[in-house]
Amino acid sequence: DTVLTQSPALAVSPGERVTISCRASESVSTLMHWYQQKPGQQPKLLIYLASNLESGVPARFSGSGSGTDFTLTIDPVEADDTATYYCQQSWNDPLTFGSGTKLEIK
Amino acid sequence: EVQLVESGGGLVQPGRSLKLSCVASGFTFNNYWMTWIRQAPGKGLEWVASITNTGGSTYYPDSVKGRFTISRDNAKSTLYLQMNSLRSEDTATYYCTRVTIITTVVFDYWGQGVMVTVSS
């Protein structure tokens, strides 16, 4: 299975720029997607196919990468962005998720 | 407005069965693949099962293959997950999700989730 590795946690101040990384154990081309899960809520799609912003998602969110290294960027960060962020690949079977990065806003 | 509403969760003993349902509204159900994803308490997300828009094909990871069955009734806009031979490690919140219409598997809408607890 393709393992997706994410940093466990990050803490930033409002207004700063934050990058959340996701590294795949094998190439996933650009079939990488990002979700936001706020406490007590279901996940929400933010970015699909590495860099495409889902409709309705603020332009503060952006994604990049290909192959094995991917990044989700939030610039500028707002207090409401407190959440866990998951990457998901759909290139290899079975599809897999990263373990999540918990973002704290100081 | 797209809505996915799960039901059927609860407490069940190991080895027993449970069937989850998900009623969809706000979109043309029979145009979309659907998927169940689960999340163990305090843990990450795990793909459980997917089904094509016609129900003609289904897909599972090894962890549930042979125990879980995904199905759908397009006339009722309802997705199901039959879970047999349940184990403690199946304890999780189960989300019903819609697969977006692009060339790969991405989940653009999620239900609120339903909790399944497997314990004696």
pLDDT tens string A7-55: 889 999 999 999 999 999 999 999 999 999 999 999 999 999 999 999 9
Q: Which among B6, B104, B112, B114 is the top mutation candidate for probing chain A, defined by the most A β-carbons within 10 Å of its own β-carbon? A: B104
**Residue B79 confidence (pLDDT) above 80:** yes
Give pLDDT tens digits for A57-81: 999 999 999 999 999 999 999 999 9
Return the pLDDT at A81.
Answer: 97
Give dist(CA A100, CA A97) in Å, integer: 8
pLDDT of the residue at B104 = 85
Query: In this predicted structure, what is the pLDDT of residue B102?
Result: 75
A74's tokens = 């939030």
Task: Please report residues of A whose CB lies closer than 8 A to that of B57.
Answer: none
**How does residue B101 score in pLDDT terms, banded at 50, 70 and 90?**
confident
Q: Does residue B51 contact residue B99 with C-beta atoms inside 8 Å?
A: no
Q: Pick the closest to residue B5 from B58, B68, B76 (CA basis).
A: B76
Q: What is the pLDDT of residue B103?
A: 74
Cβ distance of B107 and A45 shorter than 8 Å: yes
Residue B28, pLDDT > 90, answer: yes
Question: Do A50 and A64 touch, CB atoms closer than 8 A?
Answer: yes
- Which residue(s) pair with A72 in the sheet? A20, A63
B31 three-state secondary structure: helix
Handedness of CA B47, A64, B108, A10 (dihedral sign): positive
Going by DSSP bridges, is the β-strand pair B114-118/B92-99 parallel, antiparallel, or unpaired? antiparallel
Beta bridge partners of B117: B11
Q: What SS3 class is residue A81?
A: helix
